[in-house]
Structure 1
Amino acid sequence: MQFVAADDMAEREDEQDGEKEPSNMFNLKIVVLLFSVSLKMLFFPAYRSTDFEVHRNWLAITSSLPLEQWYTDETSVWTLDYPPMFAYFEFGLGFIAKWVDDEMLILDNIPYASLETIVFQRLTVILFGDLAIFAAVQAHHASAYDLALLLLHPALLIVDNIHFQYNGFAIGALLLALAWLPDRRLAPLGAAFFAIALNLKQTLLFAVPAVTLVVLISAPILQAVVSFSGVFLGIWLPFIKQTDVLIKRLFPFGRGLLHSYWAPNVWALIASLDIFASALIGGEPSPSTRGLIGFAEPFVIMPNPSPLGSLCMTILAMLPALFYLALNKGDRRTKLLIAVSHSFLSAFVFGWHVHEKALLLAILPLCFVAGHHDRWCSVFRVLCMSGTLSMFPLLYEPAELLPKYMLFLGFAAFLATTMNRNWTLIESVYYTGMIPIEIYSTFVHTKVLPVGYEFVPQALISCYCAVGIVFAYCRSTSILLSSISASKSQSDDGGQGQPKELKRD
């Protein structure tokens, strides 16, 4: 089966936007969608994390309690801590759930996982996630190849369809907004969908600077602001008296800098250095080695950042993407995708209490770009490979070993055959190094180290993946800065110079 590249990602003229998509291209997308749904249904019996019970409990909260108690209920430890739009989403699912198995809506059923509940929750993840992403691909005028990159990405499959979450649904809503915002006619609709996306998952806030900038540059500002504000206020209005409670639930800074399983970012590397440094001087080991949550200052030797310091570093790291979006003319939609991806990558690398799953926010927007712009291939490949490996510890049951390895190797082969441009020896060495890391972490560690070092395999995988992800951030920054420099040179030459295009050679 041959995938057709989408060269029509560029912002189109009005008459071009009205052109119909060739039927064979649309049919191929339907095949990809059906294959994705069929594959994901095979994971119904697979391992389920505590997030399955979290969402089951949220169904019960929103279906059993009045709205004013949704964010104050503590019947279960799995309290509702997503924004209001996601709470409405769970509330809506509850109307269907009561016909499937009404016992899943009983708040005191902790935990509860009947066969009907498992099928219902698994199926809602597939349908809402895949349909949202499919709609986003259509809105971007993208190809079946881009759809395959999105729907069949192993990191998304691991997190949503095995581990269990609704990332595909939230990110699909964001991608829809990013498709419409650069178009003056559709910008108000894009602003409304962006308000919805922000209220599905609070981590999407890091897209706000890039989205605000593109609205100021290319959208009817007043209409976009009214559309965004109207939808946002409409979502929050029922909770207006509980704003302080919601803020504490949505932004729990007290959980500390590091998550219990280190996200593969710069803080994981600093934590490792801190452990070695403290060991060299004979000091107490860092509390971060215990894999616990809540240490605002986990480092013994290295300087500890504050939440504000971490935020400032993140904003500084985003700036190249914002300058790139502001200074470069041309394909505004693609540039917005790149800027948003870089912003999420900056937040992942330098953010406070980052979860490893947040890397999906940086990876998925690049699915529209990497297959068509050579210089982004290496960034995308490294993020995909490192990000997927970093999520392996989420699936620690023996039954999941074969599926996760098949997903990883299958996608790696897919990238190697369809996106092999600008492949370097360093990349090959780095990817090869993942094999002994995984073998040691999964099969060897428990046989060579005594009890008390259970956190070592996760730390090892996190740090190895962090090297690749930090490299991807540096490479992304380098591409953006070179593009800005090329644009400035063209401007200094009075428009006679040729800008460097981010397209296939």
Structure 2
Amino acid sequence: MSRSKFVSLFKSSPLYDFLIPFQRAPNQWVARYIIIVFAIIVRCAVGLGPYSGQNTPPMFGDFEAQRHWMEITTQLPIREWYFYDLQYWGLDYPPLTAFHSWLLGKIGSLTDVSWFALDVSRGLETDDLKSYMRITALLSELFIYIPAVLMYTRWMGRYYNKASPIDQTIIAAAILYQPSLIIIDHGHFQYNSVMLGLSLFAIVNLLENNYVLCSVFFVLALGFKQMALYYAPIFFFYLLSVCIFPFSKMNLLRLVSVGVSVLFTFVLMFLPFVYKGGFGQIIQILIRVFPFDRGIFEDKVANFWCATNVIIKYRQIFTQDQLKKLSLLLTLAGIAPASITIFIKPSKNLFTWCLASCSLAFYLFSFQVHEKSILLPLMPITLLLNEVDPDVISMVCWIANIALFSMWPLLKRDQLSLQYFVLGILSNWLMGNLSWIRMYLRRAKIPVLARELATPVLPHNLFWRFVIISSYTLASCLHILDYFFEPPKQLPHLWVISNVILSFGCFMLFWCWTNYKIIQKATFKVKAN
């Protein structure tokens, strides 16, 4: 693969225009700092807007949940963290989130102890507190997720797609400006970038054959947010495969070292709780972390259960236990193609593809999925921008836009409409996906600079062109209807349900496409190691 071919895929993008002047070796460090600084500026701008639950008592929202966890972890002994006032915002993420909250709470208390005063600080919404919380989300991403993205693109450039350093920086920028993660972490307010960054560090170490470090980082990701389980089957089957195959040369030492590192990391995370409160703490943490009693879904999400619930009223037909079993069977079926493939053929260039397929299957079929869970499959999907294939890049750009669209009802409730549209337009413009407008401007006799349309807006396949254009058209129509018209009184959720069905259809088609690409790649000789 030639470097020039790789660059040509982004030749028409503003990202290319901004960064290509720094392609000389002595200046390339400047390009990396430029994309990081601009990423920080964009995130700060989003952080000036509203957040989840702002001015909406009594529960407020995710912003208050994160603040409240800092409150209980700094004000209560560790044995009470997972037991305290579970009717409010009880801690329901794994231990590493609790320690993260404790650290940020301790640091914040040095500025103002009233921010995390037990009970009396509930619903606190001062400007100083908001600024501090926004800074913690920004620094968490800056220290964990952003370095992981740069490391991943550097490895891919060196060993897979042979991209030059400046090309690696352009791809890293395209990944970092993906709007969904920005608007959820810095608008709605969460710390998803920590879990995603730890998972990405695990991927990088796997690519480097550092299997022990890979295992440690992935367990840390699980220890921060349990949703990292979306990636677990692919990590498990890849590591198992490289340890036991071929049977004649089974690497027992590698297998034991991976197993011990996993066990040791879990023990370190849970040890403080067991030491202070006994083994009952582990049971309580697991109950809080896996809330199966909440039902198969709480809100309207673009997955199989919510989309088909329009026709089949699952909760009227099946019991809770039956729905758990159905969900498990469908999820296992959904993750099977990627899991089996990566076990039989543990190739590094298949790994990200399998992660994308597996995590998307979890989103589509598993139990208790939230709108924000689309961020998990979206991370490996955006990593596919490293592929030297214009059709792949166009498909990734399409599904990233659909992912943002699928969260529109949530973002609208959070009053983040402005951020939604601006980030959506900004990311597509930076990627060059709006370069086709030049053609129509020239036809309208508006003088614009003629330019080669190198960035792939649509794939070559006519079916996918029809699907993408149709989905964009329908999404635009839904936005217009949502803005100008109230839904019928007998169907008050019509626009939301339409969003769910459209997004689900796109996600299902993309999942089928990823499995097709996995099988296609697995049947050809590929550069694996």
Do the structures match in fold with TM over 0.5?
yes
CA gap 1:501/1:412 in 2 versus in 1, 3 angstroms:
farther
- Partners of 1:301 and 1:251 in 2: how far apart? 20
Per chain length, whose mean CA-contact separation is higher, i.e. which structure has more relative contact order (CA < 8 Å, sep 6+)? Answer: 2
Answer whether contact 1:207 1:340 (CA < 8 A) is retained.
Answer: yes
Counterpart mapping for 1:242-261 below 5 A: 242-260=281-299
Deviation digits for residues 82-113 of structure 1 (CA, Å, limit 9, x no counterpart):
00011001111122101222111112121112
Q: CA deviation at 1:47?
A: 1.4
Q: In the alignment, does 2:46 pair up with 1:33?
A: no
Q: CA deviation at 1:64?
A: 0.2
Unaligned runs of 5+ in 2: 9-23, 53-60, 157-167, 244-253, 436-454
In the alignment, which residue of structure 1 is the partner of 2:184? 159
In the alignment, which residue of structure 1 is the partner of 2:69? 58
Q: CA deviation at 1:204?
A: 0.7
Deviation digits for residues 412-442 of structure 1 (CA, Å, limit 9, x no counterpart):
3444253436252331122122101112123
CA gap 1:25/1:225 in 2 versus in 1, 3 angstroms:
farther
Of 417, 434, 440, the match for 1:401: 417
Q: In the alignment, does 2:104 pair up with 1:96?
A: no
In the alignment, which residue of structure 2 is the partner of 1:464? 502
The amino acid that maps onto 2:38 is: F
Q: CA deviation at 1:45?
A: 3.0
Answer whether contact 1:104 1:113 (CA < 8 A) is retained.
Answer: no
Of 229, 232, 238, the match for 1:214: 238
Answer whether contact 2:188 2:414 (CA < 8 A) is retained.
Answer: no
Q: In the alignment, does 2:115 pair up with 1:115?
A: no
Q: Secondary structure at the match of 2:502?
A: helix
Q: In the alignment, does 2:457 pair up with 1:420?
A: yes
The amino acid that maps onto 1:383 is: I
In the alignment, which residue of structure 1 is the partner of 2:477? 436
- Partners of 1:195 and 1:349 in 2: how far apart? 24
Q: CA deviation at 1:231?
A: 1.2
Q: CA deviation at 1:245?
A: 1.0
Q: Secondary structure at the match of 1:134?
A: helix
Q: CA deviation at 1:464?
A: 1.2
Unaligned runs of 5+ in 1: 8-20, 275-285, 287-296, 488-498
Q: In the alignment, does 2:231 pair up with 1:172?
A: no
Answer whether contact 2:297 2:368 (CA < 8 A) is retained.
Answer: yes
CA gap 1:378/1:38 in 2 versus in 1, 3 angstroms:
closer
Measured on the aligned residues, the alpha-carbon RMSD in Å equals 2.8
Answer whether contact 1:182 1:214 (CA < 8 A) is retained.
Answer: no
Of 301, 306, 311, the match for 1:268: 306
Q: In the alignment, does 2:371 pair up with 1:356?
A: yes
In the alignment, which residue of structure 2 is the partner of 1:326? 343
- Partners of 2:358 and 2:326 in 1: how far apart? 17
The amino acid that maps onto 1:433 is: L
Q: Secondary structure at the match of 2:510?
A: helix
373-382 or 123-132: which moved more? 373-382
The amino acid that maps onto 2:428 is: A
Q: CA deviation at 1:341?
A: 1.8
Of 377, 382, 385, the match for 2:393: 377
- Partners of 2:267 and 2:237 in 1: how far apart? 21
In the alignment, which residue of structure 2 is the partner of 1:77? 88
CA gap 1:239/1:41 in 2 versus in 1, 3 angstroms:
same
CA gap 1:74/1:36 in 2 versus in 1, 3 angstroms:
same
- Partners of 1:83 and 1:366 in 2: how far apart? 25
Identity %, equivalent residues: 23
Q: Secondary structure at the match of 2:38?
A: helix
- Partners of 1:345 and 1:378 in 2: how far apart? 18
CA gap 1:75/1:426 in 2 versus in 1, 3 angstroms:
closer
Q: CA deviation at 1:301?
A: 9.8
- Partners of 1:305 and 1:146 in 2: how far apart? 44
Q: CA deviation at 1:77?
A: 0.8
Of 50, 69, 72, the match for 1:47: 50
- Partners of 2:414 and 2:122 in 1: how far apart? 26
The amino acid that maps onto 2:35 is: V
- Partners of 2:482 and 2:527 in 1: how far apart? 42
Q: CA deviation at 1:479?
A: 1.6
- Partners of 2:233 and 2:217 in 1: how far apart? 16
- Partners of 1:238 and 1:144 in 2: how far apart? 41
The amino acid that maps onto 1:130 is: L
In the alignment, which residue of structure 2 is the partner of 1:388? 404
In the alignment, which residue of structure 1 is the partner of 2:382? 367
Q: Secondary structure at the match of 2:383?
A: coil
Counterpart mapping for 1:441-456 below 5 A: 441-445=482-486, 449-450=488-489, 453-456=491-494
- Partners of 1:136 and 1:6 in 2: how far apart? 22
In the alignment, which residue of structure 1 is the partner of 2:78? 67
- Partners of 2:229 and 2:285 in 1: how far apart? 15
Answer whether contact 2:6 2:388 (CA < 8 A) is retained.
Answer: no
In the alignment, which residue of structure 2 is the partner of 1:124? 136
TM-score, length-normalised on structure 2?
A: 0.78
Answer whether contact 1:264 1:463 (CA < 8 A) is retained.
Answer: yes
Q: CA deviation at 1:462?
A: 1.2
Answer whether contact 2:371 2:410 (CA < 8 A) is retained.
Answer: no
CA gap 1:299/1:25 in 2 versus in 1, 3 angstroms:
farther
Q: CA deviation at 1:315?
A: 1.7
Answer whether contact 1:265 1:350 (CA < 8 A) is retained.
Answer: yes
Counterpart mapping for 1:306-321 below 5 A: 306-321=323-338
Aligned length: 448
CA gap 1:368/1:25 in 2 versus in 1, 3 angstroms:
farther
Q: CA deviation at 1:217?
A: 3.2
The amino acid that maps onto 2:263 is: S
Q: CA deviation at 1:460?
A: 1.6
CA gap 1:224/1:399 in 2 versus in 1, 3 angstroms:
closer
Answer whether contact 2:95 2:223 (CA < 8 A) is retained.
Answer: yes
The amino acid that maps onto 1:123 is: I
The amino acid that maps onto 2:334 is: A
Q: Secondary structure at the match of 1:43?
A: helix
- Partners of 1:169 and 1:23 in 2: how far apart? 31
CA gap 1:76/1:106 in 2 versus in 1, 3 angstroms:
farther
- Partners of 2:286 and 2:302 in 1: how far apart? 26
- Partners of 1:430 and 1:304 in 2: how far apart? 35
Answer whether contact 2:63 2:189 (CA < 8 A) is retained.
Answer: yes
- Partners of 2:291 and 2:25 in 1: how far apart? 48
- Partners of 2:29 and 2:408 in 1: how far apart? 34
